[in-house]
Amino acid sequence: MTELTRRTAAELAEALASGETTSVELTQSHLDRIADVDAAVHAFLHVDAEGALAAARASDERRASGPPASTLDGVPIAVKDVLATRGLPTTCGSRILEGWVPPYDATVVARLRAAGLPILGKTNMDEFAMGSSTEHSAYGPTHNPWDLDRIPGGSGGGSAAAVAAFEAPLAMGTDTGGSIRQPAAVTGTVGAKPTYGGVSRYGLVALANSLDQAGPVTRTVLDAALLHEVVGGHDLMDSTSIDQPLPAVVAAARQGATGDLSGMRIGVVTELTGEGYQPGVQQRFDESVQLLVDAGAEVVEVSCPTFVHALATYYLILPAEASSNLARFDAMRYGLRVLPEGIEAPSAEDVMRASRDRGFGDEVKRRIILGTYALSSGYYDAYYGQAQKVRTLVSRDFAAAFERVDVLLSPTAPTTAFRLGEKLDDPVAMYLNDLATIPANLAGVPGISVPSGLADEDGLPTGVQVLAPAMADDRVYRVGAALETLLTRRWGGPLLARAPELAPALRGASA
């Protein structure tokens, strides 16, 4: 591993600006790192060396002849395979989209390209983002760089692992119930879920449209803010996009990095701590709270009583929307087409059924059936309709809490990374991973997860989540950056410096 791959995106941007390195050099060094370790980590589903280097060359030429396209011009990035990339395969971790090459770019991807960030490749994920472990990828799981036998979180385990394994300085993730924040927590990285509508969803293959939000996956809070500024802001192609200026997230991250939180009121959510949280997770959380108090914040306990119903609410709304979103995968216009066996001259209908059976994995089928049930006549009011009402109550809980405090705080995930396969056939146990992250998606508010240390019992990373009111993304960056500064000081360096070295594979063996 070259020293370049250890640096933060902000540092790389400076190195590019000062002429210390070139985009081609640092893009190549990340491609080399991917070649070294990705056979073991399996963060990527597709690596685009040629495309990334071409973009890097263009970036270097731009810098040579004039101003860069953005602060991050030339800094490479990995993109979750749920975002449409023109000319690059986009599979969503599903067999049904194997080999699909979109004829268009997601808005987020178009903005990355316009800002000059070379795209290294597409990262692994749970199929259609359904999962919390990346084990539901049709192309095999991603491994946690901290312990290759453990899950990297999900659904965006690929993006988190890529960043944690120094394969990319930046990655894009998407978060429907915690898929950016929970992987960040279990891989010792930073993940931010912007306000719903703060980053365009156009070209993000929808899991649950009213919950999905794309956001940055990075190693530092400042990097997340820098990336947020590149991809965020109003988009005419997304009707649910907010037509207001983006909050000043970079400035907030820089302000928070001073470590001063005087005047900040922080609420610890009663319902998201204590019982059900692994002792080591709770311990690191409590220490973080104490650090924030020491930094001048006023910390109070806040109750959000409806949050205990958030998980159930989520597991009705998500499958319902998903069952409808995934109907388009019918083998007619794109994707896998399977001819059913034993049927002569099968009809379109027969082919749809067979293709969807073969193309979707178990978890996807499970949720499609559940969603179909929740929406079907006679059950709508009891399930989907009821869930939408509880959603209102969750939002009201947030509103009430934010009258008392500026941000809310909780552990990001109830446990550290569990072993691959451990919860694979126990969907309910799997769903519990998103307990703390889901309320933010239901209400559309922003959140960030920052590393809070390693749990004593297993030595694995834990995370703290900061939540703020809609369009107050700057607050999560400020508090997140403060906590990061204080903890890094205490640790004497970034948490990831303590991750085990990954043995480089023999070059060429990991194509």
Partner 1 sequence: MTTRTAEKVLSFEEALAGFDPTMGLEVHVELNTVSKMFCGCATGFGAEPNTQVCPVCLGLPGAMPVVNEKAVESAIRIGLALNCRIASWCRFARKNYFYPDMPKNFQTSQYDEPIAFDGWMDVEVDGETVRVEIERAHMEEDTGKSLHVGGATGRIHGADHSLVDYNRAGIPLIEIVTKTIPGTREKAPLVAKAYVAQLRDLLLALGVSDVRMEQGSLRCDVNLSLAPAGSGQLGTRTETKNVNSLRSVERAVRYEIARQAALLQSGVPIVQETRHWHEDTGVTTSGREKSDAEDYRYFPEPDLVPVAPSTEWVDELRASLPEPPRERLARLQREWGFSDLEMRDTVGAGALVLVEETVAAGAAPGAARKWWLSELARRANERGAEVADLGVTPTDVARVQALVDEGRINDKLARQVFDGLLAGEGTPDEVVEGRGLAVVSDEGALSAAVDRAIADNPAVADKIRDGKVAAAGALIGAVMKELGGKADAGQVRELILAKLI
Partner 2 sequence: MPEITRAEVAHLADLARIDLSDTELDHLAPQLVVILEAIASINDVAADDVPPTSHPLPLTNVFRADVVRPSLTAQEALSGAPVEPEQQRFSVPRILGEEA
Please report, for residues 41, 116, 143, 370, the alpha-carbon distance to residue 443 in angstroms, rounded to integers and kept in the order given: 34, 33, 31, 22
Element (H, E) at 442: helix 438-443
Please, which of residues 445-474 interact with partner 2 by CB under 8 A?
Answer: 470
- Inter-residue contact 451 to 462 (CB < 8 Å): yes
Question: Quick check: is 179 catalytic?
Answer: yes
Asked whether position 386 contacts partner 1 by CB under 8 A, the answer is no
The pattern of x and - marking residues 381 through 420 that bind partner 2 according to CB under 8 A reads -x--xxxxxxxxx-x-------------------------
Which CB sits closer to partner 1, 387 or 486?
Answer: 387
Structure tokens at 280: 């080591």
Nearest distance, CB of residue 87 and partner 1, angstroms:
14
Please, which of residues 71-110 interact with partner 2 by CB under 8 A?
Answer: 100-104
CA 471 to chain centre: 19
Residue 336 binding partner per list partner 2, partner 1, none, with a CB distance cut-off of 5 to 8 Å that depends on partner kind: partner 2
Please, which of residues 394-453 interact with partner 1 by CB under 8 A?
Answer: none
Nearest distance, CB of residue 202 and partner 1, angstroms:
5
Structure tokens at 354: 């067979």
Best CA proximity match to 463, nearest among 249, 214, 146, 166 = 146
35 backbone dihedrals φ, ψ, rounded to 5°: -60, -35
List beta partners, residue 372: none
Question: Quick check: is 239 catalytic?
Answer: no
Residue 328 binding partner per list partner 1, partner 2, none, with a CB distance cut-off of 5 to 8 Å that depends on partner kind: partner 1
The 3-state secondary structure of 76-107, one letter per residue: CEEEECCECECCECCCCCCHHHCCCCCCCCCH
Structure tokens at 377: 């006549």
Best CA proximity match to 442, nearest among 316, 278, 283 = 316
The pattern of x and - marking residues 288 through 327 that bind partner 2 according to CB under 8 A reads ------------------x--x-xxx-xx------x---x
Question: Quick check: is 510 catalytic?
Answer: no
Given the residues 29, 137, 179, 449, the one annotated as active site: 179
- Binding part of the chain for partner 1, among 29-37, 143-151, 234-242, 495-503 by CB under 8 A, reads 234-242
CA dist 81 and 478 (Å) reads 29
Count of residues touching partner 1 (by CB under 8 A): 45
Element (H, E) at 368: helix 362-375
Please, which of residues 327-356 interact with partner 1 by CB under 8 A?
Answer: 327-330, 332-334, 345, 348-349, 352
Strands 119-123 and 44-47: antiparallel
Active-site positions read 80, 155, 179
- Judged by the rule CB under 8 A, the positions of this chain that interact with partner 1 are 83-84, 90, 92, 97, 100, 102-104, 106, 201-206, 208-210, 236-240, 320-321, 323-324, 327-330, 332-334, 345, 348-349, 352, 372, 375-377, 380, 384
